[in-house]
Amino acid sequence: MLQEKSVVLIGAGNVATSLGYTLHRRGIPVTQVFSRTRESAQALAAKIGAEAVSRWELLRDDAGVYIVSLPDEVLTREVSRMVAGREQALWVHTAGSVPMQVWEGYASRYGVLYPLQTFSKAREVDLSRVPLFVEANSPQDTLFLRQWAGQLSEQVYEADSTQRKALHLSAVFACNFVNHLYAIADEWLARHGLPFETLLPLIDETARKVHALPPRQAQTGPAVRYDEATIQTHLNALEEWPEWQQLYERLSRDIQDMDSGQQHTPII
Amino acid sequence: MLQEKSVVLIGAGNVATSLGYTLHRRGIPVTQVFSRTRESAQALAAKIGAEAVSRWELLRDDAGVYIVSLPDEVLTREVSRMVAGREQALWVHTAGSVPMQVWEGYASRYGVLYPLQTFSKAREVDLSRVPLFVEANSPQDTLFLRQWAGQLSEQVYEADSTQRKALHLSAVFACNFVNHLYAIADEWLARHGLPFETLLPLIDETARKVHALPPRQAQTGPAVRYDEATIQTHLNALEEWPEWQQLYERLSRDIQDMDSGQQHTPII
């Protein structure tokens, strides 16, 4: 029978840390944390009452669920070694762009538990409002994972590997690239002796706005107004920072292309 | 003596509409709304108990404050015509990147009232939490504008034209370009049959996060992890959308440049 029993976390990075905290808080025992970096394993394990290990041969073999949050290429390289002798447990990874089939031929019960969120160790995130996307190699384990993940988050959905990859790519644009634009704005203000905090009401409203309006309808600014005088003023101001100048120009033209409907079809 | 008396709004676009609503709600009388587009003038005027006009010769000359929210090139072109005969009123524009000196030689009392926010007619914004940046051509009017703007917002600051231009350019990155990235994510999800709403918790956390961490420290994702396998997977997925593929590549390299400290100094 499917039992949740205990969990082993493989990885101690941003995602594993957030999952570890939440599992611990929900009373789901994490018995072991594995990380190739001993200090990382210890730091997380100490906070959630788990054992820390950093050598594969010390990995426990009695857990019900193994959650693997490793860099994609490490997961692919080490899958055989980590699963060997533990084929009957449920193996899930948390990567957006690694297909579920990475487990095929190694584990017999496997899947994916993908949290669509940005995690940093310096900031704890309430996982209960984070959408979790699950997939498994059997209907039973899909159901099990749905229910099990339901203990962590109110928002659990099924997504196959293709959908998950699309989610991940969208998240890179809507989060990682967005944050980089915040970083550019921060640098630009700092160069002019202005505090980044000034922008926070604007950043907040920009995010809130797309709860109510589709992003295309929410678009404002010089590009969508075709205000070429302001665009040119800004490009001139960026003269000494050619990367940002090119980025400004490309994003402005792209906004205009989308506004004029030129970006609705792929080129082939 | 400085009196606020009544206000005439010149322009009936997104910014003028938001200002008009707020002035009306605060009990500051807006006697007239001018827009070259009669329908726009009427739509706004009707909501705030003002007269609508769309010909310059009908512009009132008894207002204490004229607030001008016109496209930058229209403001520059029409400044002489609008001020003539009304030189003693206080003239302010709301543009981020137009210097205060646009008024010089026309008005005798003039300045700027720049709201750092994204405004769409489809969405009312609470101006009380919007930072307003003011500037005027005399200490008396700077003080007057600060106090007067304090009736609209809790956050009123002084900023000269150089600082305001820096604020505006930062806002283009942190709002207009950010919203465009949301729009790309929206399109990408739609192509894969996934709803944009899925991304909202991520978008919200990305914005919230920079209240607590500087954007550089908040950065996550494949680029800052130097996860070249995922970057390549995403670039391959974008093969048929070359604009977005190039944007993905440029932003990823830019994140890595900033992470490795290559972007701290201008090229000259």
Q: Which position has the token pair 């293709």?
A: A162
* Predicted confidence (pLDDT) per residue in B240-259, tens digit: 999 999 999 999 999 999 99
Q: What is the pTM of this model?
A: 0.91
Q: Which of A198, A14, A251, A222 is nearest to A120 (CA)?
A: A14
**CB contact (8 A) between residue B178 and residue A203:** yes
> In a 3-state reduction of DSSP, which class is residue B110?
strand
Sheet strands side by side (includes A65-68)? A51-53, A30-34, A7-10, A65-68, A90-93, A109-115, A132-136, A156-158
**CB contact (8 A) between residue A97 and residue B230:** yes
Chain B CB contacts of A211 under 8 Å are: 200
Task: Name the percent of chain B lying above pLDDT 70.
Answer: 96
- pLDDT beyond 60 at A243: yes
Q: Is A185 within 8 Å of chain B by CB?
A: yes
Q: Is A116 within 8 Å of chain B by CB?
A: yes
CA distance B79 to B105: 10
Beta bridge pairs of residue A136: A111
- Model ipTM over 0.95: no
End-to-end CA distance of chain B: 50
**CB contact (8 A) between residue B242 and residue A267:** yes
Chain B CB contacts of A194 under 8 Å are: 159, 163, 166-167, 170
Q: Taking a contact as any Cβ pair under 8 Å apart, which residues of chain B between 147 and 176 contact chain A? A: 155, 157, 159, 162-163, 165-176
Question: To which H or E segment does residue A157 belong?
Answer: strand A156-158
**Searching chain A, which residue's CA lies closest to the CA of residue B75?**
A229
Q: Are A130 and A117 in contact (CB under 8 A)?
A: yes
B253, with CB counted inside 10 A (0-12, 13-18, 19+), is middle
Gap from B261 CA to chain A (nearest CA, Å): 12
Task: Name the percent of chain A lying above pLDDT 90.
Answer: 91
* Predicted confidence (pLDDT) per residue in B26-63, tens digit: 999 999 999 999 999 999 999 999 999 999 999 999 99
- pLDDT beyond 50 at A187: yes
Q: Taking a contact as any Cβ pair under 8 Å apart, which residues of chain A between 195 and 214 contact chain B? A: 196, 198-207, 209-214
- pLDDT beyond 70 at B3: no
Q: Is B236 within 8 Å of chain A by CB?
A: no
Confidence of residue A263 (pLDDT cuts 50, 70, 90): low
CA distance A8 to A62: 9
Beta bridge pairs of residue A68: A10, A93
Q: How many helices (H) and strands (E) does chain A have?
A: 10, 8
Mutate to test the interface with B, among A157, A179, A254 (most CBs of B within 10 A): A179
Q: Is A177 within 8 Å of chain B by CB?
A: yes
> What pLDDT does residue B264 have?
47
Beta bridge pairs of residue B157: B133
* Predicted confidence (pLDDT) per residue in A46-88, tens digit: 999 999 999 999 999 999 999 999 988 899 999 999 999 999 9
3-state SS string for A71-98 = CHHHHHHHHHHHHCCCCCCEEEECCCCC
Structure tokens at B110: 């003039």
Q: Taking a contact as any Cβ pair under 8 Å apart, which residues of chain A between 41 and 100 contact chain B? A: 71-73, 95-97
> What pLDDT does residue A67 have?
98
